[in-house]
Structure 1
Amino acid sequence: MSIEDIIEYVDRLPGVLILRPQPGDGTPNIAWGDAFFYYAPDGVVPNGQPFATIVTKDYPDDTRSRLDTPGTFRVNIHAGATEFAAVTGHNPRMQPTRDVDPSTPDLLLAHPVYGHLAWVAVVNPAERTTDRVLELLASAYRAARARHDHRIDPAST
């Protein structure tokens, strides 16, 4: 599964805004080459976090996935507590019982920095994780859409 495969899948979901920072667009250069997925039917970046991201390099506080290795990227998905527990086998606020190398390709696990906030991650998703990654992206999208709709009309939930 490539970065473009993931972006094409998410782009087909109604109301999604995809940000792809690049040189000259005013974004910090650390974000260039990455992708950020928001539910934003009006096309305006909402306040708050995206529902998923793709990162293509290490960030200063996030180096354990070794994303500076050529050809390496990581998909990050806000799974929510229930999906997070289904993927990892533990509550987001609890420490895992085993230490897993977050640079292992094609392995869904707690995000190495934001796992406690119910984010999951996978480096270079492939045969083992593709279907589950797509399911999690769809679930994160639905949750982001529900949050948006609730902000617009609190009686909608």
Structure 2
Amino acid sequence: MTRDEIIDFVRDLDGVLLLRPEPGDGSPDIAWGDTFIYYAPDGAVPTTTQPFATIVTKNYPGDESSRLDRPDTFRVNIAAGKDEFLARVGRAPRDPAAEGEDASATDTLMAHPVYGTLGWLAVVNPAERTEGVVRELLRRSYDLARNRYARRIDSPSR
């Protein structure tokens, strides 16, 4: 599964906004080449919510364990939520990771090495073994983001 296949999959979902920072657009240079996937039916980058998924192509400070500095390596990150996280990795997000988990393993669903405690899952270079799971998780994460958006819009405090 390539980055473009992931992007094409989410692009087909209603209300998705893809933010793809690049030189000259005012974004920090560390974000260039990465993709941030939001539910934003108005087409504006939300200021009060995080993306529901990201695709990162490089190590970030404090997030080097996936070894994204290898050639042709990327990681898709998905805000799965507590229940889905528990169902997929067999532990609550705030529980400690199992001894020996390898955040650089490819085509393997795992807790996000930094944001796992917040219910994020990740796959480095998804391929045959994880492609279906990645698509399913992206759809579920999209549904969660869409539902959060609807609750904010319908909130009496607005």
When the two structures are superposed, what TM-score results if normalisation uses the length of structure 2? 0.96
Secondary structure of the structure 2 residue equivalent to 1:36: strand
Query: Partners in 1 of 2:17 and 2:100 — Cα distance?
Result: 35
Secondary structure of the structure 2 residue equivalent to 1:121: strand
Deviation of the 1:96 alpha carbon: 2.5
Matched residue type, 2:23:
P
Query: Partners in 1 of 2:74 and 2:98 — Cα distance?
Result: 26
Give runs of ≥4 in structure 1 deviating > 4 Å: none
Aligned to 1:34: 34
Deviation of the 1:86 alpha carbon: 1.4
Superposed CA offset, 1:128-150 (max 9, x none) = 00000000000000000000000
Matched residue type, 1:121:
A
Query: Partners in 2 of 1:105 and 1:67 — Cα distance?
Result: 11
Aligned to 1:114: 115
Query: Partners in 2 of 1:112 and 1:97 — Cα distance?
Result: 12
Map 1:128-139 → 2, pairs under 5 A? 128-139=129-140
Matched residue type, 1:7:
I
Query: Partners in 2 of 1:66 and 1:55 — Cα distance?
Result: 11
Aligned to 2:71: 70
Which structure 1 residue ranges, 5 or more long, are not aligned? none
Query: Partners in 2 of 1:137 and 1:97 — Cα distance?
Result: 24
Which structure 2 residue ranges, 5 or more long, are not aligned? none
Query: Partners in 2 of 1:36 and 1:23 — Cα distance?
Result: 16
Aligned to 2:128: 127
Query: Partners in 2 of 1:77 and 1:17 — Cα distance?
Result: 15
Deviation of the 1:94 alpha carbon: 0.5
Matched residue type, 1:11:
R
Map 1:15-26 → 2, pairs under 5 A? 15-26=15-26
Secondary structure of the structure 1 residue equivalent to 2:117: helix
Secondary structure of the structure 2 residue equivalent to 1:113: coil
Matched residue type, 2:147:
A
Query: Partners in 2 of 1:64 and 1:98 — Cα distance?
Result: 14
Q: Please provide the CA RMSD for this pair.
A: 0.9
Aligned to 1:141: 142
Aligned to 2:12: 12
Matched residue type, 2:153:
I
Deviation of the 1:98 alpha carbon: 3.1
The question of 1:93 aligning with 2:94 is answered yes
Deviation of the 1:97 alpha carbon: 3.1
Secondary structure of the structure 1 residue equivalent to 2:37: strand
